[in-house]
Amino acid sequence: RDTVRAGKAGRRSFCLTAGLRVSLPSSYVVSRKIEPFYKGGRVQINRDGKFMFCPCGTKLNVIDVETGALHSLQQDDEEDITSFVLSPDDEILVTGSRALLLKQWNWRENKCVRTWKAVHIAPVASMAFDSTSTLLATGGCDSTIKIWDMIKQYCTHNLKGSSGVVHLVEFHPDVSRLQLFSSSVDYKIRIWDLNSSKCVAMLDGHFSAVTSLAFADGNTLISSGRDKICMVWDLKTKESKRTVPVYESVEAAVLLPEKGDFSQLGVKKQGLHFVTAGSKGILKVWEVATAACVYTQPMPFTLKEEASERSLTQCMLVPERNEIVTVSVEHNIVLYDAQTLQLRKQLAGYNDEVLDVKFLGPGDSHIVVATNSPQLKVFELATSHCQILYGHTETILALDVFRKGLMFVSCAKDKSLRVWRMNKDGRVLCVAQGLGHAHGVGAVSCSRLKESFVVTSSQDCTIKIWNIPESLTSKAKAALISSPEALHAKVTERGHDKDINSVAVSPNDKLIATGSQDRLAKLWACSDCSLLGVFAGHKRGIWCVQFSPVDQVLATSSADGTLKLWGLRDFSCLKTFEGHDASVLKIIFVSRGMQLLSSGSDGLVKLWTIKTNECVKTLDGHEDKIWGLHSNKQDDMVVTASSDSCILLWKDVTEIEEEEAQAKQEEQIMKEQELSNLLHEKRYLKALGLAISLDRPHTVLMVVKGESEKHLEENIARLRKDQKEAVLTFLVTWNTNTRNCHEAQAVIETLLKHEAPDSLLQYSGIKSAVESLLPYTERHFQRLSRLLQASMFIDFMWQNMRLADASQQEDLTL
């Protein structure tokens, strides 16, 4: 009875909105794109810390650290970038690619200033500038090092003697010494004297690859290696002063500045201290004098994971902003306060395949993303700051958000579901966990009226209903929760014979719908999970089910490429929408239930109007399957997520486009009236320009016919290039008609007289115009030639007639 009442009320609201003639959305545009900007390699930050440079395949992305906005330096050769470096003065950016070319960029204007051959016979693996930004060192995979003078633009040195790939090059900070330090696969650090172009010393102490070099002063060097040690070298004696055992593979060692308060990092005494980043995924601070670890960063992970999944690959100090920046093997870039190691910002460089996405937060200020990994990512849309949520141990498959937007649920291949809550400060914590399914949990749906229960479905073909305790829904009580609370399923029901792909809860929390690979959708009572009915009609497995927010209607989408609307009373199919050429993976109701949005494995999103069965818009923004589709509470934004690793935010611009179209129409009417006035006043020059801008060939022809030959020539000569191009396209049509060919030829004559051949060749469409003009012009000249011959014959006859008449008169007078 409640369901029937809700349906009647829904129909009344549907009729009411229809009566108001609400303008339905018909157009969306991409307002924001979250795409991969870093796929591995060295990351660099400019001197003031405002911009970050990240290689991503064939392009180098420049990211605004504050906003997350990016622009790309795209190479012409379409070859992957193997190495790049930004000069200390931020002026010169050089990239090296697999095409064995070096490119110098003006990175602020996205321009390639210079390209030259790297001279290396294998790709460049490492690069470094000296402190004056005038010398560039390139270490190649061919065991050689080249030094380039960036001002005079030539190669000054070719240093041979390294073994294997030269993966590390660094200039000594003291310019007067003219020394270069390098390391290759033999684990030795070579010191090159650039005055003699010779290797003057080898620092031998590491037993694995040397990963970084840090100069403490003119005579002290700290090196880190994958042999789990850092070494302190005396550059005067070329001997090791101290070996610091780090007990993890070290990827970077960064010296802490001598000035500044680093007491919170365990720095109690004067002297050298450095930070290490490595395979354990945490930062450690070491004192050089005692070789002791004085601070270890607290581990931010709730579960023990493989070290390879969270290890750090790079660490940098940004003195201008007092920040330490780390890069992880998962392509996450984290910015910490250098004095406290408090997290300031986190950016996700690569998302892999995105499996689901939902708006989050009371004002839809965030999105939560399930990527092909056990971690969730929560993006703050305003700043691109990304929180990474640890908890699941296998790939997360689906998400759903409660109505208020502060709590959401995730489910994964690890057979569990987790409930998460967002605090006032935007931090997200796991507050509950549920275990019970025998296989991976592939679909989840939250209650709609209150935060009271969650429904999950699994590959074990069962449906489970989980009650949410009141302690989780109360903000005060939830804040006191220290560890995730255990959830227990109150009802379990075997629902289908094959994998259940989708589950949905009705707007009144009374019904549950499921869709399965067995090509059936089923309706269940929420109270006891009893079966109410079956929706049969799809030819292939069902990917998604959704309840209408206003009517007693269920929408389903299937691998057969169709969407269907079903009545909840008699379980009959009400409508079928055909248009997708591939599986329809997700559907949602928008516009108060009057429209549907669907996404498919063909990378397309389609907008359907239910009343007319019409697809009013197709949105093409992705290149692969679209697994995630969700709209915000205001119904004016849609987010889509795809296997192409991209997340797109689409904005409803229907009203804006309608206003623009109306303004354009009004402007058109005003211009037409002005044109009519100009023609009436015989102000042909202005009329000609206005008729061209209005794209009125016939009016232009009337103006041309109305002018004298002299005025026509002057007016045509005064036109802009784009206007002349428009006239050229008009006269091609005029020239096909014998009545208008004289005007066309007059305009052609003016153009040929006043325009040089080279400038005419620059006109757009000149080739096709000439090809169209030639045959008709030849025909017109043939016709005129015949007319001229006929007129000559008439003249000849007239002359003869006059002569005969004159002779007759003479005879009469005689």
pLDDT tens digit sequence for 673-688: 877 787 777 776 677 7
Residue 128 within a domain: no
What's residue 316's pLDDT?
Answer: 94
Q: Are residues 346 and 361 in the same domain?
A: no
Shortest CA distance to 630 belongs to which of 660, 689, 601, 589? 589
Strand duo 428-435 + 485-487: pairing: parallel
Do 335 and 377 have their domain in common? no
Q: How many other C-beta atoms are found inside a 10 Å radius of the C-beta of residue 235? A: 21
Among 251, 257, 258, smallest CA distance to 282 is for 251
Residue 364, helix vs strand vs coil: coil
The residue ranges of the chain whose pLDDT is under 70 are: 1-22, 300-309, 474-482, 684-685, 708-709, 805-806, 810-814
Tell me the torsion sign for CA atoms 665, 667, 670, 674: negative
The two most distant CA atoms of the chain are separated, in Å, by 148
The H or E element that residue 448 is part of is: none
pTM score of the predicted model = 0.78
Cα gap 260→371, rounded to integer Å: 40
Q: Are residues 754 and 641 in the same domain?
A: no
**Per this entry, what is the length of the chain?**
814
- Counting runs of H as helices and runs of E as strands, what totals does the chain give? 12, 57
- From 650, 674, 702, the end of a domain falls on 650
What is the per-residue pLDDT for 6?
A: 36
Same-domain pairing of 321 and 457: no
Residue 172 lies in a domain: no
Does residue 345 sit in the same domain as residue 360? no
According to the model, what pLDDT value does residue 18 have? 39
Which CATH number fits the domain that encloses residue 223? 2.130.10.10
* 303 within some domain: yes
220 and 267 share one domain: yes
DSSP 370-430: EESSS-EEEEETTT--EEEE---SS-EEEEEE-TTSSEEEEEETTSEEEEEEE-TTS-EEE
Give the pLDDT confidence score for residue 76 in this predicted structure: 77
| 409 in the same domain as 332 | no
pLDDT for res 737: 79
Same domain, 238 and 263: yes
Of the candidates 637, 639, 662, the residue with the CA atom closest to the CA atom of residue 652: 637
> Cα(514)–Cα(530) distance, rounded to whole angstroms?
13
Q: Structurally, how many domains does the chain consist of? A: 3
Examine the domain organization and report whether 506 and 374 are in the same domain.
Answer: yes
Which residue range forms the structural domain that includes residue 726? 682-794
513 and 638, same structural domain?
A: yes
Q: Are 86 and 102 in contact (CB under 8 A)?
A: no
Q: Does some domain include residue 44? A: no
Distance, CA of 92 to CA of 661 (rounded, Å):
46
**Which pLDDT belongs to residue 306?**
45
Could you say which of 324, 350, 376 is where a domain stops? 350
779 lies in the same domain as 701: yes
Last residue within a domain, chosen from 350, 370, 388: 350
Q: Do 493 and 515 have their domain in common? A: yes
For residue 439, what are the contacts with CB-CB under 8 A and spacing of at least 6? 415, 458, 459, 460
Cβ pair 395, 413 in contact under 8 A? yes
